[in-house]
Amino acid sequence: DTEVTQTPKHLVMGMTNKKSLKCEQHMGHRAMYWYKQKAKKPPELMFVYSYEKLSINESVPSRFSPECPNSSLLNLHLHALQPEDSALYLCASSPRGVPGNSYEQYFGPGTRLTVT
């Protein structure tokens, strides 16, 4: 299995809702990432987990809460989002954890999130 899967593909939520995004990889990769991508912009790093521990939080608002229950699974819990949070949320994984080098990142197809 050489892919990163993400569910759901699309999500529409209101500003008072709580929802979760899910990401899975079965490649034995040691690091997993959440990115946010707006239209016609590059991905922006949000969080990095290495060996199931949070190693980087790019000053992301607390309405986004990541969780790594095991080495294959990564969740992003969403609560009280704003319309400007609407974007494509991408999960990625890389073979090496931190410290190390993660230039080799494999991305999932993303969840397209719309906040109304």
Partner 1 sequence: QKEVEQDPGPLSVPEGAIVSLNCTYSNSAFQYFMWYRQYSRKGPELLMYTYSSGNKEDGRFTAQVDKSSKYISLFIRDSQPSDSATYLCAMNEYSSASKIIFGSGTRLSIRP
Residues near partner 1 (CB under 8 A): 4, 31, 33, 40-43, 45, 48, 50, 55-56, 88, 90, 92, 94, 98-110, 112
Task: For tokens 């230039």, name the residue.
Answer: 103
**79 vs 106 by CB, closer to partner 1:** 106
Cα–Cα dist 92/44, whole Å: 12
**16 vs 42 by CB, closer to partner 1:** 42
Whether a cis peptide bond, with omega within 30° of 0, leads into 8 is: yes
Nearest distance from C-beta of residue 15 to partner 1, angstroms: 25
Strand partners, 21: 76
Nearest distance from C-beta of residue 95 to partner 1, angstroms: 12
Could you tell me where the DSSP H helices lie in the chain? none
Nearest distance from C-beta of residue 80 to partner 1, angstroms: 26
**56 vs 80 by CB, closer to partner 1:** 56
Cα–Cα dist 88/82, whole Å: 14
Nearest distance from C-beta of residue 42 to partner 1, angstroms: 4
Cα–Cα dist 33/56, whole Å: 9
**15 vs 104 by CB, closer to partner 1:** 104
